[in-house]
């Protein structure tokens, strides 16, 4: 412990604020300064901090900057964790937040062992997860495009006489819709084309996931998960991509809690109040599982 140095990094797009805590518990935690968030500057920073041959233990909060910094630090031979922001202890009444204070707090808490590290995927896993998330984004675009078209039709009194939309019959009906004014016909056709383009994008991404899956290390897990009722290919690959290593959970309860599917509870004394699910963790994985459950229920 005494030959270790704990480094707190407050990471932003352009800069990294650095704080240093020596391994001795009573030693002062000091703000080291700021460096540009670029690999060459990070390398120089780490080389300076490791000049006295102490072992470095670095940490930073998970966020929009991803894991490239983590991978660089690990490749340089140092210990690094990415911290879950929602699980960082917060002092009551502390309402001052700056990059400097955040870095110092991270270094101090890391030395005290009070930070919770998240699981960091390897580059191949992150790439597959990015592809799965791109498909999920494309699905949301399809939903929006369909809403725009249906809203336009409703606003102009074009009501589909059938029961269910987006069937073969519904699409055939769309080809019969006409508007008197050329401008409205142009708008209608543009909405129809937007739906077709969005659906083609989803189909293309789905095919690319299918093509790349055999080369993924977790392909056997995706295959195994599909053995469960209601879990088809897309649900399986989404859950596996979002969860990653299932072996890090000691029991099913931990997995369900990670997915935010456990009931919330706020109890004190004789008062017991339970609410809806916590919705912690990956919303994409949770939605996929819920859709799978509904699919099985409707069979």
pLDDT of residue 1: 61
What is the value of pTM for the model shown?
A: 0.90
Task: Let me know how many helices (H) and strands (E) the chain has, helices first.
Answer: 10, 7
Query: pLDDT tens-digit profile of 107-138?
Result: 999 999 999 999 999 999 999 999 999 999 99
pLDDT single digits (tens) 130-157: 999 999 999 999 999 999 999 999 999 9
pLDDT of res. 165: 94
Report domain 4-112's class.
Answer: alpha beta
Least confident of 10-19, 76-85, 86-95, 238-247: 86-95
Which of the four pLDDT bands, split at 50, 70 and 90, describes residue 208?
very high
CA atoms within 13 A of residue 18's CA, in its CB half-sphere: 22
16-41 average pLDDT score: 93
DSSP 260: T
For residue 2, the model assigns a pLDDT of: 66
CA-CA distance, 208 to 196, in Å (whole number)?
A: 18
Neighbours of 294 (CB within 10 A): 11
Alpha helices per DSSP H over 53-159:
68-75, 99-112, 123-155
pLDDT, tens only, 242-296: 999 999 999 999 999 999 999 998 887 778 788 899 898 899 999 999 999 998 8
Question: For residue range 155-197, what is the model confidence (pLDDT) as tens digits?
Answer: 999 999 999 999 999 999 999 999 999 999 999 999 999 999 9
Between 58-62, 204-208, 264-268, the lowest mean confidence (pLDDT) is in 264-268
Q: What's the pLDDT at 268? A: 78
Cα 89 to Cα 83: distance, rounded to the nearest angstrom: 11
Residue ranges per structural domain of the chain = 4-112, 122-212, 218-299
């Amino acid at each position: 412990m005494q030959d270790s140095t704990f480094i707190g990094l407050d990471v932003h797009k352009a800069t990294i604020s650095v704080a240093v805590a020596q391994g001795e518990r009573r030693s002062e935690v000091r703000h080291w300064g700021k460096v540009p968030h670029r690999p060459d500057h990070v390398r120089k920073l780490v080389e300076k901090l490791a000049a006295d041959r102490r072992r470095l233990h670095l940490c930073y909060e998970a966020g929009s900057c991803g894991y490239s910094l983590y991978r660089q630090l690990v490749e340089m031979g140092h210990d690094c964790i990415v911290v879950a922001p929602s699980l960082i202890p917060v002092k009551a009444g502390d309402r001052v937040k700056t990059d400097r204070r955040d870095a110092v707090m991270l270094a101090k808490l890391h030395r005290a062992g009070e930070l919770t590290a998240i699981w960091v995927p390897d580059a191949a896993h992150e790439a597959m997860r990015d592809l799965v998330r791109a498909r999920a984004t494309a699905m949301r675009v399809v939903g929006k495009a369909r809403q725009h078209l249906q809203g336009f039709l409703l606003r102009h009194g074009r009501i589909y006489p059938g029961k269910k939309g987006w069937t073969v019959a519904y699409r055939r009906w769309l080809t019969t819709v006409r508007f008197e004014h050329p401008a409205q016909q142009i708008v209608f056709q543009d909405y129809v084309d937007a739906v077709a383009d969005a659906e083609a994008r989803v189909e293309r991404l789905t095919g690319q996931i299918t093509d790349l899956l055999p080369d993924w290390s977790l392909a056997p897990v995706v295959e195994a998960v599909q053995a469960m009722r209601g879990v088809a290919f897309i649900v399986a690959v989404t859950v596996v991509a979002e969860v990653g290593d299932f072996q890090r959970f000691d029991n099913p309860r931990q997995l369900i809690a990670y997915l935010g599917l456990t009931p919330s509870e706020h109890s004190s004394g004789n008062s017991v109040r339970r609410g809806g699910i916590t919705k912690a963790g990956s919303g994409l994985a949770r939605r996929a599982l819920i859709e799978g459950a509904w699919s099985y229920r409707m069979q």
